[in-house]
Amino acid sequence: MDADVIVVGGGSNTLSAAAYLGKAGLGVCVLEKNDRLGGCVVSHDNPEGYIQDTIATAIVTGAANPIIADDELDLFSRHGLEIAWSDKPYATIFEDGSGLITYRDLDASCESIARFSTRDAEAYRALVGEALAIWPILRQALFEPPVPYGSFIAGLDSTEQGRHLLSLYHSSIYDIVRQRFENDAVRTHLARCPETAQSADTNGTGLVLYLFLALAHSYPTGAVVGGLQKLSDALGACLEQHGGSIRYGVTVDKILVEGGRAVGVLTSDGETIRARRAVVASIHPWDLGSMVPGVSEALVQRCASVRLSQYGSFNIHCTLPTTPSYHAGTAFDDAMNVCLLDRDPKTFLRNHSGYRYGDMPTELDPIIYIQSNFDPTRAPEGHATLYAYNFVPFEPAGATWDDIKSEFADRVLAKIFAHMSNLDIDQILSRTVVTPADHAAWSPSLKNGDTVGIAMDAGQMFGMRPIPELANYRVPGAEGLYLCGPFMHPGGTIILGGRATALQMFADMGLEREGVFIG
């Protein structure tokens, strides 16, 4: 089945690009190797009636995308998408049972901080004010194609506000919180909020803190009702409404390139599917040379130098006989995201730095989501689902994940349930463990289990993601081929980044934006 546009991979990024192209009237065919859409935005259920997100879970950065914020693809109005929102995006509980909550309401957040330091509460108010002041710039930059890196830097350097943003761009998250705040508990809570799979003391991550603060105080955080699979399925329904098609169980081995132009794909079954106008593909930079004939060796070598994140995640999914409650107090029970941490920031900084060398954590710092608190459809009445993860090395030194995953899951769950006031570990009804090795096996976009795609720091963001030559989504030597995935701008997390890819394609193909894009 030939089409105007062939889309390789049915992840949330490629699906969102496909939906925009279909909405513009192009004939689009999505080829997905799995039996479901979504990539990392998927859910699984079981006969007992529990629904759990498999890899990704909460809607955070995606809440600001016009796809969600403005219903630009009619996912809510026509395709049944529902999101249950929380105004408590982040919470941290410390070993002594005290804790901090970031509320969407700035005053409430400052009150939570003031219990540890009144000075830090005022410092936080000032920091959020700075983040909100630059948020319009960041929001536009996130959901449109990036400008060339040189122009980006020159533009920032031309204004006082831009120079401030540029200084943040090259600093680390921990640089900022250490300089601005005096209390260790406050520093720890803020440094851990941006979950970028990079240690908070990594240079080039500072801007991400401002991004997450602006998001936390501008948008709620969401759980998709019925599980994340409903978001991916709504994107697929949007595409089909506009005449597009989806084929499952199809693995693409090669992009067909003739005369320097991408003209279709070759599947693992030997089928040739031709594209009349373009190919959109989720091809990790490391795989570009093997999948796209004719690209230069210099480009392949540049792609081979793309850096992964510093570590992956170890996910645990549990079903529970009742809704958990924390010793720290009922205010934490309905926070979207709760992290269990030592109060001293050096503890998690040492852990996260060691992950690069395969070191397993000495002190656990699991992050917990009880999505059934917000979406009762995820569990039978009175029961609950628990989604938790601990950052870990991609490969543990001296062992395989199969060797140690059960024992490590026991450790993580023991820590979690020590903080629960109404449940203990023996009451878990069932559990499923997903390691970085499992993530890598699920999707070729998650090399080594990197759920962010590639590292998110100043050297691989905006017009540098994944490398400058590919940052506009086009592939030199294969005209008409566009890349889309977590390794492209705007990056990992549930961000529906195909919107930016589609905008680039609309400009290149002379398609009319009016009636397709709102923002």
- pLDDT tens for the chain, 519 residues long, are 799 999 999 999 999 999 999 999 999 999 999 999 999 999 998 889 999 999 999 999 999 999 999 999 999 999 999 999 999 999 999 999 999 999 999 999 999 999 999 999 999 999 999 999 989 988 999 999 999 888 888 887 888 877 887 888 889 999 999 999 999 999 999 999 888 899 999 999 999 999 999 999 999 999 999 999 999 999 999 999 999 999 999 999 999 999 999 999 999 999 999 999 999 999 999 999 999 999 999 999 999 999 999 999 999 999 999 999 999 999 999 999 999 999 999 999 999 999 999 999 999 999 999 999 999 999 999 999 999 999 999 999 999 999 999 999 999 999 999 999 999 999 999 999 999 999 999 999 999 999 999 999 999 999 999 999 999 999 999 999 999 999 999 998 999 999 999 999 999 999 999 999 986
How big is the chain by its Cα radius of gyration, in Å? 22
* Residue whose C-alpha is closest to residue 6's, from 32, 28, 26: 28
Give the domain 3-41+55-84+224-307+445-509 fold. FAD/NAD(P)-binding domain (3.50.50)
Integer CA distances (angstroms), 167 to 53, 182, 506, in order: 37, 21, 33
Instruction: Give dist(CA 501, CA 484) in Å, integer.
Output: 7
CB contact at 8 A, 159 and 516: no
CB contact at 8 A, 496 and 60: no
Instruction: Give dist(CA 28, CA 243) in Å, integer.
Output: 8
Instruction: Give dist(CA 496, CA 485) in Å, integer.
Output: 9
What secondary structure, in 3-state letters, does 99-112 show?
Answer: EEEECCCHHHHHHH
Alpha helices in 7-89 (DSSP H): 12-23, 66-69
Per DSSP, the chain holds a count of helices (H) and strands (E) of 16, 18
Residue 122: strand, helix, or coil: helix
Instruction: Give dist(CA 513, CA 382) in Å, integer.
Output: 47
Domain positions in the chain:
3-41+55-84+224-307+445-509
Which strand (E) or helix (H) includes residue 29?
Answer: strand 28-32
Q: What's the pLDDT score for residue 519?
A: 62
Q: What's the pLDDT score for residue 149?
A: 83
Backbone angles phi and psi of 51, in degrees to 5? -125, 125
What secondary structure, in 3-state letters, does 336-392 show?
Answer: CCEEEECCCHHHHHHHHHHHHHCCCCCCCCCEEECHHHCCHHHCCCCCEEEEEEEEE
How many degrees, rounded to 5, is the angle at CA 510 between CA 504 and CA 514? 85
Q: What is the pTM of this model?
A: 0.97
Complete DSSP assignment for 440-459: HHH-TTSGGG-TTSS--SGG
